[in-house]
Amino acid sequence: MLRLASLALFLVIWLVGTFALGERKLPGPPAVAATIVAEARSGALFANVGITLVRVVLAFVLAMAIGSALGLLMGRNRVADRLGDPWLVVLLNLPALVIIVLAYVWLGLTEVAAVAAVAVNKLPNTIVTVREGARALDRGLDEMGRVFAFSRWKKLRHIVLPQLAPYLAAAMRLGVSLIWKIVLVVELIGRPNGVGFEIGTAFQLFDMPRILAYSCTFVLIMLAIETLLVQPLERRASRWRLRTA
Amino acid sequence: MNDALRAGVSARLELHIAAKQYVAASGARHEVLREIVLSLGEGEVAAILGPSGCGKTTLLRIVAGLDTDFDGSVTLAGKGRSHPPKMGMVFQEPRLLPWRTVEQNLLLAAPGASAAAIDRLLADFGLSSHARHFPGELSLGLARRVALARAFAVEPDILLLDEPFASLDARLAGSLRHELAKLVSRNRATTLLVTHDVDDATELADRIFLLSQRPARIIGIVPIETPRSLRSPERLAAIGRDVIARGVGPER
């Protein structure tokens, strides 16, 4: 209920903004909705949003998988931590644009370069979060697993992952938001399709309704992913905690 | 695997710790254990009794293979079997997986145990109504019961108990000790119990090893001939007096 009220407030502010700045600079919700419908009818909306989503998912999966593995390793192993730390600091501070440009130069203006550039941008942030979680792992439970002869897989699944769950959830939540921001930049610079490319084209033509149409569609999809996927997963992972509270 | 309480063939335990030191954060070396030799026969229950902080837990961790940085050797011998003896352990804290139910905690430690065996163990420890609860929903006393049930669930050849009743009130500790005494007798696992509590030792053990202050050495061995089930309160009190007379003050 509160969320809906908050959303209504947003629409009101938008309308006030349209009134103040004029339809040309900030088209109102009806104009944007009409553009969304028109783009959907032509099929362009689905094609562009679809390809962008595919890039988001690929980069997300890559960054989460590699980042979690490296973060776990660095949190558990001092040598790996020492070796990896300077790399991590460099990656964390390297501007997204530098990584994107270098990826396009070295790998060409290809899909692989685009997805890799996005994944590399998200990677250090996953590593840092998961490493923090791995450092906080309970040694007592680890010893319990050793005494009771848990296999590696059983340790990972029943001892390590449940402890990392809150850290993984944080990395995922930050990951989705960061990745979709960077995917648009990557598309703007070096891809012939996708939401980022469309917004770039619309910007050159000063086509405000189209810019907002694509932005809103994508925001709605991200909201849906958050409410329908991320939050239920989080609730499931912490249900043992809810019952103790 | 059809009966959790019928242990297989019990292991024998040979322990020799020439010296165990640990390096404190300041860099200073402390000697914790010195010249500890003990040997347990099939199904024997030994209690290591000593003052708090004398290194009992360290000793148990060495036996469990969790601490390998010491001079000496541990031999856990299964009887003519090639695979390593099965170990069950109860730590000082319950160390249950908070994100798994009581039943899952038992099954994870003992994947081969049948549902019937798990049910029976839960009943033995008065946990039947808590099978689907998460450890966070249990009192400390109940969580300790689960930890004990888990150690028995693996049908251990060797059972290690680290102050299993610490920080429970006297009445609760008494009743749990009584249940444990029955199970230990039925299970016939070679058992090593470390405790600072004379009652734990006299009620459960076949032999009591007395430890000194740090660096801990064995300063006396008290065998108890009376079978566990026949130890009356008077008999237990007499053994307790004997133990204390030999120079260990449990807590002083």
- Beta-carbon count within 10 A of A8 CB: 10
Instruction: Tell whether A231 is covered by a domain.
Output: yes
Q: Dihedral of CA A173/A177/A180/A185: which sign? A: negative
**Residue found under tokens 């006297």:** B170
pLDDT value at position A244? 47
pLDDT value at position A46? 92
Instruction: Tell whether A111 is covered by a domain.
Output: yes
Average pLDDT over chain A, rounded to an integer: 90
Beta-strand ranges (E) seen in B59-125 are 71-77, 87-90
pLDDT value at position A245? 42
Instruction: Tell whether A15 is covered by a domain.
Output: no
**Residue found under tokens 């090639």:** B82
pLDDT above 90 coverage of chain A, percent: 71
ipTM (interface predicted TM): 0.84
A160 CB neighbours in chain B (<8 A) are none
Q: Does B100 touch chain A (CB under 8 A)?
A: yes
Q: Do B87 and A147 touch (CB under 8 A)?
A: yes
Our count of domains for chain A comes to 1
A166 CB neighbours in chain B (<8 A) are none
pLDDT value at position A186? 94
Q: Which of B83, B95, B159, B161 to mutate to test the interface with A (most CBs of A within 10 A)?
A: B95
Answer yes or no: is pLDDT of A101 > 60.
Answer: yes
Answer yes or no: is pLDDT of A175 > 70.
Answer: yes
How many contacts, defined by CB atoms under 8 Å, are there between A and B? 51
Alpha-carbon radius of gyration of chain A: 22
What number is the average pLDDT over the span A146-166?
A: 91
What are the two backbone dihedrals, phi and then psi, of residue A217, each rounded to the nearest 5 degrees?
-55, -45
- What amino acid is encoded at B146 in this protein? V
**Residue found under tokens 């088209």:** A27
Q: Searching chain A, which residue's CA lies closest to the CA of residue B132? A: A240
**CA of A133 to nearest chain B CA: how many angstroms apart?**
16
* CA–CA distance, B7 with B146 (Å, rounded to integer): 19
Q: Which domain holds residue A146?
A: 49-238
CA within 13 Å, CB half, B251: 6
pLDDT above 70 coverage of chain A, percent: 98
Please give the distance of CA B129 from its chain centroid, rounded to a whole number: 25
Question: Please, which residues 39-68 of chain B have a Cβ atom closer than 8 Å to chain A?
Answer: 64-66
What is the CATH classification number for the domain harbouring A70?
1.10.3720.10
C-alpha triplet B206, B109, A234: angle, nearest 5°: 140
What number is the average pLDDT over the span A206-228?
A: 89
Q: For residue B164, give Cα distances in angstroms to A87, A243, B72, B197.
A: 47, 26, 26, 11
Instruction: Tell whether A77 is covered by a domain.
Output: yes
Q: Do B134 and A243 touch (CB under 8 A)?
A: yes
Q: Which of A141, A240, A241 is the closest to B95 by Cβ? A: A141
- Beta-carbon count within 10 A of A158 CB: 18
Answer yes or no: is pLDDT of A127 > 90.
Answer: yes
Q: Which of A140, A146, A159 is the closest to B93 by Cβ? A: A140
Question: Please, which residues 65-84 of chain B have a Cβ atom closer than 8 Å to chain A?
Answer: 65-66
Nearest of A182, A180, A176 to residue A233 by alpha carbon: A176
Taking only the tens of pLDDT, chain B with its 252 residues reads 333 333 444 558 888 888 888 888 888 888 888 888 888 888 889 999 888 777 888 899 999 989 888 888 888 876 555 467 888 999 998 999 999 999 999 999 998 888 899 999 899 888 899 999 999 889 888 999 999 999 999 888 889 999 888 877 888 888 888 888 888 888 788 899 998 888 888 888 889 998 888 788 888 888 888 787 778 888 788 788 877 777 654 444
Beta-strand ranges (E) seen in B65-181 are 71-77, 87-90, 158-162
Instruction: Tell whether A178 is covered by a domain.
Output: yes
What are the two backbone dihedrals, phi and then psi, of residue B73, each rounded to the nearest 5 degrees?
-150, 150
Fold of the domain spanning B12-100+156-245: Rossmann fold (3.40.50)
**CA of A160 to nearest chain B CA: how many angstroms apart?**
10
Q: Do B66 and A147 touch (CB under 8 A)?
A: yes
Q: What is the DSSP string of B149-213?
A: HHHHHT--SEEEEESTTTTS-HHHHHHHHHHHHHHHHHH--EEEEEES-HHHHHHH-SEEEEE-S
pLDDT value at position A65? 94
pLDDT value at position B4? 33
* CA–CA distance, A202 with A196 (Å, rounded to integer): 10
Answer yes or no: is pLDDT of A10 > 60.
Answer: yes
Answer yes or no: is pLDDT of A76 > 80.
Answer: yes
pLDDT value at position B119? 92
Q: Does B112 touch chain A (CB under 8 A)?
A: no
Print burial letters for B153-183: b (CB count within 10 Å at least 16), e (below 16).
bbbbbbbbbbbbbbebeeebbeebbeebbeb
Instruction: Tell whether A190 is covered by a domain.
Output: yes
Share of chain A residues as helix, strand and coil, in percent rounded to the nearest 5: 85, 0, 15
